[in-house]
Amino acid sequence: MTPEQSCREAFVEASSFLEKCGVYEPQNNARLLLEHVLGVYGAAYYMMQPEPFPSEHRSRWEDAVTRKAAGEPAQYIIGSQEFYGLPFEVTPAVLIPRPETELLVEAVLREADRVFPDGAPFAVDIGTGSGAIAVTMASLRPRWQVGAGDLSAAALQVAARNAAANGVQIDFREGDLLAPFAGARVDILVSNPPYIPAADIAGLQQEVRDHEPRMALDGGPDGLAPYRIMLEQLALLPAPPQIIGFELGQGQARDIADLLETAGHWPKIIIVPDLAGIERHVLGVRTSEQVTKM
């Protein structure tokens, strides 16, 4: 990087360098990093493009680009990721929230508004990680009580900071899947658990394989272990939740739908595709009238 470079030239140089290093979406990553280093976004970022690159940010910029070239996710370098319009701190202790998970939140809210139109259900996010699902539910439905669990104490610390930063109250509990909520009446259960088959992890993108927590990726031999365990752990609750919503991997939707149907607690099974048309989420729904009949 030469001292007389403009911000635009620094962006072009970094994009080219990242592309040569095999970084996925090099221009998008360069833009994210440059916005972060300069502290400008949106229109202000584009207005600054012709300006000389600030010398006081040079070292930080070069460090960020070097880390990105080595495969580190931009979100970890920046320390944040937006989810459903809300800001979330992310660290290597948590999985980076993905846009497709927003569709799971939307599907759960849509069904919950039908099942609990006047109530204040207790909704639990299992394997909360950064707290993206739990915090978003609590933010969008302030009357709800929301709990969240994770096996990782470090992840729960990040999630607690995100809850505080977004001004919501979450009942955080540490433990294995549903175990921390044993004995609690859970009306809505939502989870984006690890679903990558263990043998497939080595073939993931470097950013994911080498930097995101393996605990949040490894779903056992076929990727379905966490779902089976959670369905077994329903026996720990006084009654099965009226709504259950899972995110899952490509090709797993029919298997998860079969597991929910076999469990027999949810007369309505819904499969929700993501924006690419991949069957990404499965929901089970039981209305209050159906609860009375069971």
Of 197, 193, 181, nearest to 236 (Cα)?
Answer: 181
How many Cα atoms sit within 13 Å of 50 on the Cβ side?
1
Can you read off the two tokens belonging to residue 37?
A: 């280093």
C-alpha distances (whole Å) from 221 to each of 166, 173, 192, 205, 278 are: 37, 27, 17, 19, 22
Contact 240, 291 (CB under 8 A): no
Tell me if residue 25 falls in helix, strand or coil.
Answer: coil
Rounded Cα gap, residues 268 and 141, in angstroms: 23
Contacts of 159 (CB under 8 A, 6+ apart): 94, 128, 129, 130, 131, 134, 135, 148, 150, 170, 172
Determine the distance from the C-alpha atom of residue 22 to the mean position of all C-alpha atoms in its chain, rounded to a whole number.
25
Contacts of 89 (CB under 8 A, 6+ apart): 79, 80, 130, 158, 161, 162, 165
Contact 129, 155 (CB under 8 A): yes
Q: Categorise residue 175: left if φ over 0, alpha if ψ from -120 to 50, beta otherwise.
A: left
pLDDT of residue 294: 46
List of the chain residues with pLDDT < 70: 1-3, 195, 199-200, 204, 210-213, 215-216, 218-219, 288-294
pLDDT in tens, 96-129: 999 999 999 999 999 999 999 987 999 999 999 9
pLDDT of residue 166: 98
pLDDT of residue 119: 79
pTM of the entire predicted model: 0.90
C-alpha distances (whole Å) from 156 to each of 85, 127, 210, 230, 279 are: 21, 9, 21, 19, 29
Determine the distance from the C-alpha atom of residue 225 to the mean position of all C-alpha atoms in its chain, rounded to a whole number.
19
